[in-house]
Amino acid sequence: SKKGKKYYFIYLPKSKKAYLYQANKGKSEEQILKIFNEAHPGHDNLKCQLGWYKGMPVWEVTYNKKNGNYGYVLYNFKNGKELAYADNL
């Protein structure tokens, strides 16, 4: 913004709705990856992106396992709480 604040913008094409979240009102990508690595160490090819789940902004973390399978974790944008975890997909 003009005042130096950072924001995240989420657009939902199906509903044609958009949401704007002030970055300092939630966890950053770096904070989420740190939380992930502490709870689930030893994964390769981590990717983190902002998404939408059950009416709220979330961080989506995907990763590759050493056995070639994939994993997926959702974290609440605002507090960093783990919402869903799927491993060995």
Q: Does residue 19 lie within any of the structural domains? A: no
Q: Does residue 67 lie within any of the structural domains? A: yes
Q: Does residue 20 lie within any of the structural domains? A: no
User: What CATH code is carried by the domain that includes residue 59?
Assistant: 3.10.450.40
Q: Does residue 6 lie within any of the structural domains? A: no
Per-residue DSSP letter, 25:
G
Q: Does residue 12 lie within any of the structural domains? A: no
Domain that holds residue 54: 26-86
Q: What is the pLDDT of residues 19-55, one digit of tens each?
A: 999 999 999 999 999 999 999 888 878 999 999 999 9
Q: What is the pLDDT of residues 62-75, one digit of tens each?
A: 998 888 889 999 99
Which of helix, strand or coil describes residue 66?
coil
The pLDDT score that the predictor gives to residue 55 is 94
Q: Does residue 21 lie within any of the structural domains? A: no
Q: How many domains in the chain?
A: 1
